[in-house]
Each structure stands twice: as C-alpha cells, then as structure tokens.
Amino acid sequence: MKPQKKLLNSVASCVDEALCGLVRANGGLSLLKGHRVVLRSDLDNLKGKVALLSGGGSGHEPAHGGYVGAGMLSAAVAGGVFASPPPASILAAVMSLHNAGASGVLLIVKNYTGDRLNFGLAAEQARNHGVTVDMVIVAEDCAFERPSKAGRRGLCGTIFIHKLAGALAEEGASLDQIVAKVTEVLKGIGTLGVSLSPCSVPGCLPSFDLPPGDMELGLGIHGEPGIKRSKVASADEVVKTMIDHMTNPDSQSHLPLKSGESVVVCVNNLGALSCLELAVVTRAAIICLEKQGLVVARVMSGSFMTSLEMAGVSLTLMQANDETLRLFDAKTGAPAWPNLGCVCASGRSHTKDPSAILQSAQVQENAHTEGPLSPVMRSALERVCSTLLEKQEELNALDRAAGDGDCGNTHAQAARAIQDWLQSHVVPGCPGKLLSVLAGLVQEKMGGSSGALYSLFLTAASGHVTEGHGDAAGWARAMHAGTQAMRRYGGADPGDRTMLDALCPAVEELMKVTAAPPGGPMAALKAAAQKATLGAESTRDLTARAGRASYIAAERVTLPDPGAVAVAAIFTAVLESLQGMTS
C-alpha cells in the first residue's frame, strides 16, 4: 500500500511553504523569520491591549494562521503536521507580542498533552522574562460519555474562543476579564465529529482503516479513534445521531441545552467533504436543532478546522446570549473568518525579525558571575551527570518493559550536554540563573516529553532561588514550584506511575525545612532522597495512568518506572555530593 498522493513539493517543506502561501496571499499577515509563526502585520495596534496567541499542529488549515487579524488572534504558531509546536517558537511569538507593547498575552490551547506541555513551558519562560501571560485550555469534545484522565479534546470550538476573546481584546478588555468571560463561555460549547474516511500525514499511510460504507462517530482531528462505527446513513440520520449524543444528559461531556435557548452552530468540513454534502448537512443541523425547540441564532458552514483530507464533518454548538452574539458579530480582519484582503501580494515585505527583547534576554543569560554557592552547585551537578551516565543501560532496560526503551539515552543526552556546558562556563552564583541555564539545555538536548517536563520543572523553580535567596527553605520552595508546574501541564499526579511518584514525596520531605526541622537541611535532604528511592520502588505495584506505559497491559508492567528511578538517582547524587563536601 502506497502513501496517499498529495499535491506537494516535498514532505519536509510542505508546512513552511503553506505558511508562506498564506502570508503572501493576505496583506494583513507576516511571518516571524526563523520560526513557524504567523503575526499580524500591524503589531503597533496591539499597544496597551491584550494579545492573543494560539496554534498547534499543521494539517488543520485554515486553523490557526487563518485566524490571525484585528479582532481575532494576534499571532499563531504552527508545528509540523499533527505535531505540537516547539516551545522556542511559542516563546518567540509571545516575546514579539510583548515587544509590540501588548499589556498581556493570552495563550489559547487545545487540550492535547503536547500542546499543554509546550505552551505551558513557553508561558513559564515568558513569565521569567517579565511578561504577563495566562492560558485557556479548550476541551469541548462531546464524544466520550466518561472522559479519561486526559480529559476532553480541543476541537473546532476553539475558533469560537478565538473570535470572542479577539473581540474583547480589540475593545480593550483586561487579561483577567477576557479569561473570565471565555472560561464561562466554554461551559456552553460542544463539538462532535463523524468521518467517512481516514486521513494520511504527508509521506505516510492512512492514519486508520475505515472499510467502504462505514463511518466513525466521535473521532478526533488527528484520526484518533471515536466511540463507535456503523454503516453510513442519510445526512439527516447522521446529524440527528450527532446532536442526540451531544445533548444526552447521561453523558458526562454533554452540552446542556434547553428548549427556547439560542445557539450558534458551526458546520465544519474535516477536509474532503464536498461543498454539496456540507450544505446538505448544514440544512439537516438547522432543522434538527429547531425541532428540539432551539433558536439557531447564527450558522457557520465551511472549512474551519480540518484534518487534512478526511472526508467528514464536525458540529459545534455554542449557547448564545446577546453579549455573546455581539462579540461574535464584531468585525475581524482574520482572513479565514472569512475576510478578503485588498493588498497587492508583490513588493510587500512579509517577514519580521524575532523580538529584540528575546535576543537581549539571551545575552544577559550568558553573562554569569560566580558566587559562594558556585563550587557546591558544580560538584552536585557533576555527580548527577556521572550518575545518570552510569545508569544509562539500567534505565533503558526498565523502559523497554513499558515504553520505547530510550529513557536512559535521553537522560544521558541531558547529562552530556550539562557536562559540556560545565567545561566552558562558570557556574553562576545565583541558583535561579543556573536553573534557567539547565532548563534551556534539557529543553534543547534532551528532547521528548522528558525534556519538556524537566525544563518545566527547572523553569518554574528558577524564580524561587534568586541571588541571596539560595537557603534551604528557598530551594525547598523552588522544588515545590517545579513539581507543581510538572503536574499542572503534564496532567499526571502521584500514583499514576510516573517520575512524580519519586519526586512528590521527596519534595514533601524537603518542604519540612521551611519549619526548621531537627537535624537541619542535610537531614531533610537525606530523608528526601530516601523517600524518592522508596517512591520509585513503589511504582512496581502501580498501574500506569499517564505517559507511554499507560498504553501497555498492567500485568506486563512489573518493573519500577524508569523516570521515577532516574529522579531517585538524582536526589541520591546531590545528597552524596553535599555529604562529600561537608565531611
């Protein structure tokens, strides 16, 4: 079976060429040089207003770049096809908006782990640069009656949030006001999709197999499985099935609609449905909603958040009142809402340089001076790196039992990157600066979810141990802040069989130093290292509820979690290093 034919130049260049095509065809858009970031061309108009940033994987066009413009998004960041965008590009976009004079930046993020992690990491980094940032997670999928821990997926309802938040920002509403409004509106938005065909990422085979004559209800925008398969029925029957499922009160993810209420409906082409079919489905949706006693206040019908060439449709419903409709109807310059541009494509500069603020911040980060703590931190780091390199094969072996077998390799990559850095740099006397450096190193060199998680931890921790605040209590609070960031953006908790099962009990022990425990900081660190080791060992008996191991049958996962073992090894290495220096 050959990959699906597509009208492209190359798999490698298709995302960048598509973004270039978008901005060349629309006078109100620009590209941020060196990043897959689409910006408003008139960034000066953001002064004193809240800027909106969204994004995600490519392949969902016209989302998200098509919704950049006055009255909607200020910028959008694109990942590879169906892949979350990298934190560096998200941060570059945030800093560009901040540099333009925005009073704050709101990140609008669909509920997928990669997006939460990468946008979350960029948000933490931006806060450390002095940017006022907040994040709204869109999770409006109505497919699953009992959603898993991962929660509901973010689908086409996201563009309603772009529109309403954009209208509020244009009017000068504050960041807190916008977050409060869209958080309330999100409770009244629901989406459900149905597909008659799979889709295929460029260069790959179809994402799933759907026999001719079958359709799948409730699937995601990346081809993730839905809730049931059945034979293709008439458009009226399919739409009634969808709306009945979306409004079924027995489902935890249903949309509570009452007779007499007003709704906005979006009939969204998932990619390859013909315009004729889409119009038939639109008619069916309006009639079906009216039969349920609902007032259809507004209808959108077209391609708004696609899934490459998937032949299917999603329905999004939003409860509407006068204020919601006022914001929905407000003018926007975003080309995909749609609006037509009148600027000649030739002769226009369509790129902007990355934010000077970001570059100056990077220069400042490289100018470090040593302090009294520098030798202690260097020694501890060297011990951590050598320990992780010694444990490389052990961690790989543990990971082969429940993952892809590379946990040791990823930790070793981080250790080698830190060793290389230590050879050519002084260790800054300010612990927070060191943690920021380490966050950047693991983000760049470690890769994967582990790199994002460690970088999140270090980034969130760095603000709590500044010059003159590197005492034991400060370190404990920093470790606690880092752990909370991991939990917030990673979506896991203690007991889910992850690195948190070693980290959380250790940090809990460390926090006792804030109340002057008997034995002092070293006793607390020793107890924390012991708790980390016990926590890692306890993962033998836990069922994985997060990470790759959660996809493996529980009876096959009998060894400790490799991430938890690595955390325990790090605590032990720090303890041994400090004991060696004080003995």
Q: Detail the residues annotated as belonging to a binding site.
A: 57-60, 110, 115
Spot the catalytic one: 162, 222, 245, 411. 222
- Please give the DSSP secondary-structure letter assigned to residue 391: T
Strands (E), 60-131: 75-81, 104-110
Say which residues have a Cβ less than 8 Å from residue 221's Cβ, sequence separation at least 6: 60, 153, 155, 156, 193, 270, 305, 306, 307, 314
Q: Compute the distance between CA of residue 393 and CA of residue 302 in angstroms, rounded to an integer.
A: 52
Cα 331 to Cα 46, 163, 338, 533, distances in angstroms: 16, 10, 10, 58
Catalytic site includes residue 222: yes
Task: Look up tokens 């990468």; give the residue.
Answer: 118
* Strand-strand pairing, 75-81 and 50-58: parallel
Sign of the alpha-carbon torsion through 136, 142, 145, 148: negative
Does an H or E element contain 313, and which?
strand 312-320
Binding-site positions for substrate: 57-60, 110, 115
What length is written for the chain?
583
Task: Look up tokens 């200020």; give the residue.
Answer: 74
Range list of H helices, 187-261 = 235-246
**Hey, what amino acid is at 373?**
L
Q: Which of 433, 442, 450, 432 is nearest to 385 (CA)?
A: 442
Side-chain-facing half-sphere of 125: CA atoms under 13 Å:
29
Q: Compute the distance between CA of residue 575 and CA of residue 527 in angstroms, rounded to an integer.
A: 10
**Hey, what amino acid is at 371?**
G
What is the torsion angle, in degrees rounded to the nearest 10, for the CA atoms of residue 420, residue 421, residue 427 and residue 431?
-120
Q: Which residues are catalytic?
A: 222
